[in-house]
Amino acid sequence: MSSVNASFSNNITIVHPEFFFIIGLTGMPNSTYHYIFLFIIYFITIIGNSIVLLIIALDQSLHSPKYIGVFNLALADICETNALIPNMMKTFLFDSQYISYNACLVNMFFVFLFSAMQSLTLVVMAYDRLIAICLPLRYHVFVNNTNMCLLFSAIFLFNSFIVAMMVSLITQISFCRTNVIQSYFCDHGPMFRLACNDNSINKIMGFLYTSLYLIAPLLIIVLSYLGIFCVLSKITTWEGRLKALKTCISHLLLVGIYFLPIFFTYLTSLLLYSTPNSRIISTSLAYAVPAMLNPIIYVLNTAEIRDIIRKVLKNRSAPIENI
């Protein structure tokens, strides 16, 4: 390390490097194409989610609890993608793999914050579907615009606190052996494993984050849909069941494309030997691809959004036809 800042706490020297070196994909020919592919995903993500945000913001008919959830998911997708991919482009396409200590912690905070927002937004959307199908007559009592806005505000504050605590505990790690991060961004796990002092609290925080934003949300969503399926089983006609279930298809697809790749990556790393390169490729795609697919799924599976897009396109083409 070229330069270090040493601070003393409880008679233990905590060594902080001036810079970290993010190693990314190593020894892999044509690795640049992977980063270019991620940039294409980023471009599609920003355009798709921005369109969804604009449609929901401008159309009064979509100012409902369900679409407040969709709006927050699209916003979280944009923020998480912006926190991750542009910095990755700068790091690997422009040979700028060094990142300052403070900038690294800021990068970690925003990536994990908005990833957590994506996860809990899907839980809130499952809650919306549960009440709509199981308690339709009391839907507007439990689920309304005010309650949804308050709920998402509380979730944002809670996530900010948890992630800020997780990141702040990194400052208690002493990096006295190496400043090379075996990842493609300032990832929490690869960073705390570099510690040459006790990092048990960081392991606990890593487990807490995984439990709060991966295991618990998926468990809650599964339980929500078990309740939904129990109610649907009491509907006498298949037409009625399919009509109710159709309102859940978009959400089920979002849950699948968000949680399954992440779980697959975790299980692969636990049960099988995975090289650093394979872990980087799988995790980068697990972060980037769902944010790109979310707006596509909602446009294709939501009649209200499709109708609005058709009206806009029809109105734009009408003057051309009259010329």
CATH class for the region spanning 4-310: mainly alpha
204 phi, psi to nearest 5 deg: -65, -45
Which DSSP state fits 7?
Answer: E
Locus of tokens 């998480």: 80
| Residue 317: pLDDT over 90 | no
What is the number of other CB atoms lying within 10 angstroms of the CB of residue 125? Answer: 24
Confidence of residue 151 (pLDDT cuts 50, 70, 90): very high
Q: Is 185 exposed, middle or buried (0-12, 13-18, 19+ CB in 10 A)?
A: buried
What are the DSSP E strand ranges found in the chain?
A: 4-9, 12-17, 19-22, 98-100, 180-181
> Nearest Cα to 126, choosing from 225, 17, 274?
225
Average predicted confidence (pLDDT) for the chain:
86
Q: Is the pTM of this model over 0.85?
A: yes
Tens of pLDDT along 85-98?
988 888 777 777 88
Tens of pLDDT along 97-123?
889 999 999 999 999 999 999 999 999
Tens of pLDDT along 53-81?
998 998 888 888 989 999 999 999 999 99
| Residue 318: pLDDT over 80 | no
Q: Are strands 19-22 and 4-9 parallel, antiparallel or unpaired?
A: unpaired
Cα separation, 80 vs 141, whole angstroms: 32
Tokens of 162: 């948890």
- Domains in the chain: boundaries: 4-310
